[in-house]
Structure 1
Amino acid sequence: MKPFAYAIRFLIPLSMGTGPALANNSAYTDLNTDHCKKLSTGDEPGGGIVLMCKGYRDHPVYYKEGDLRQAILYGKVNAAYIEGTFETFGAFNYTGGKIEWRLDDAGRPVAAIQRWFISNSGAMEPGPAPADTGQVLVISKVAGSDGKGCVAGYVDALSNPEPNRLARQVADTRPAGFVCAADKAVFHGVRGPLATDPTHSFPQR
């Protein structure tokens, strides 16, 4: 699986752009799959890779890959969601190596923002993203006491003038009341032609 081998090394980090401070603060961590714990190796037929990686303090990151597509879960996710949740995009894709965590007043992470690169041509080549590669900031709900984490919104990073700022605004408002597997994650701001359709898979209730 090529993306697993090279994606993290060649990605453009999520920009730490400046701008007026929002209600929440940010903390940043790097996703380095070389130092993650393997939960599934992908050796079995039809299997995918599942890794538990270092996140923010005691909130881990779960990295999943299958069929040249990647999915990420954040926080203290329960076993059913680790096994049965896979939210990604229809086209081949890979994630950026920088995670922005949005923290509440008590310093707890409530949302995570990470950049996805979407291969609209179907060619997964190492190096700088080509012109037909979409870039989407994915805003996710960090798993709380119920153990459920999921995608809560999207921002097209190529079609909005300040995509990181917009993603922070979504992260500070949308995930709090978002119900995983029931509410629909939508695009905020302008959605351009390179931001392909997301896909969602959740554990059976």
Structure 2
Amino acid sequence: MQTKTLAVTLFILMCAAFASAQSNDSVYSSLSTKSCRTIRSTSNEGGSYVGICPGVAGYKLQSEEGDLRQNIQVITPNGQKHSLELWNVVGSGFSALGEKAEWRVKRRNGKTVPVALILRYNVANPEDSTKGTSYLAVAKITPTKICITDKIAPGANANVAARNAADNAAAKPCLESSQ
């Protein structure tokens, strides 16, 4: 009986260790124009902006604005760009990104490996631009695809829901354009 109890206890401890080893952490990077390197900025016809913002583990974020709408392109460590198409997938109204990006990362062999990205995306109502909705956009980061998988509406547990969605994003399909 004592051997069986010891075996069950060891099994539970091994499962707990495996589960904690598989959990993701959050690392934050800034999307503030003060933290990003301006590539291009114009003020004519509503203005436009392109800036490169720091990321994690060799990734960068390219912040883009045109016609009062914003978007992010994720730049991989090898320089490939993946547009998140926020203005088509999350909302097409006038928009603004939040000030920070939340990277969901795994720690593997002492390295930080991004697996998902969470961005706040504030979208104006096309019928009344004084009203808007603040979504959390979740993007998966896999070796073959970076795209939006979830659009989390405002709510009491939106941050928890976004992290849960991010931690399961790798197996999800990309969201299609809302237009």
TM-score, with normalisation over the residues of structure 2?
Answer: 0.68
Matched AA of 1:23: S
Runs of 4+ in 1 over 6 A off after TM superposition: 43-47
Higher relative CO (CA 8 A, sep ≥ 6), structure 1 or 2?
1
Determine which of 138, 151, 163 is the counterpart of 1:168: 163
Contact conserved, 1:74 with 1:141, CA < 8 A, in 2? Answer: no
Unaligned runs of 5+ in 2: 1-19
Give the structure 2 partner of residue 23 of structure 1.
23
The CA deviation at 1:71 is 0.7
1:68-107 map, 5 Å: 68-76=68-76, 78-79=80-81, 81=82, 86-88=85-87, 89-106=91-108, 107=112
Give the structure 2 partner of residue 185 of structure 1.
175
The CA deviation at 1:42 is 4.8
- Larger deviation: 148-157 or 106-115? 148-157
CA distance in structure 1 between the aligned counterparts of 2:98 and 2:47, rounded to whole angstroms: 23
Structure 2 residue 141 is matched with structure 1 residue 155: no
Distance 1:42 1:198, change over 3 A: farther
Contact conserved, 1:70 with 1:94, CA < 8 A, in 2? Answer: yes
RMSD: 3.0
CA distance in structure 1 between the aligned counterparts of 2:28 and 2:157, rounded to whole angstroms: 18
Give the structure 1 partner of residue 116 of structure 2.
111
Give the structure 1 partner of residue 135 of structure 2.
136
Matched AA of 1:172: D
SS of aligned partner of 1:33: coil
Contact conserved, 2:104 with 2:166, CA < 8 A, in 1? Answer: yes
Give the structure 1 partner of residue 51 of structure 2.
51
Contact conserved, 1:35 with 1:53, CA < 8 A, in 2? Answer: yes
Give the structure 2 partner of residue 122 of structure 1.
129
1:28-53 CA distance string (max 9 Å, x none): 12212134233343579899432211
Which structure: larger Rg?
A: 2
Contact conserved, 2:138 with 2:149, CA < 8 A, in 1? Answer: yes
SS of aligned partner of 1:56: coil
The CA deviation at 1:57 is 4.1
Distance 1:149 1:51, change over 3 A: farther
Contact conserved, 1:87 with 1:198, CA < 8 A, in 2? Answer: no
Which has a greater percent of helix?
2
TM-score, with normalisation over the residues of structure 1?
Answer: 0.61
Contact conserved, 1:64 with 1:72, CA < 8 A, in 2? Answer: yes
CA distance in structure 2 between the aligned counterparts of 1:52 and 1:26, rounded to whole angstroms: 21
The CA deviation at 1:75 is 4.1
Give the structure 2 partner of residue 64 of structure 1.
64
The CA deviation at 1:177 is 3.5
Contact conserved, 1:26 with 1:102, CA < 8 A, in 2? Answer: yes
Give the structure 2 partner of residue 190 of structure 1.
none
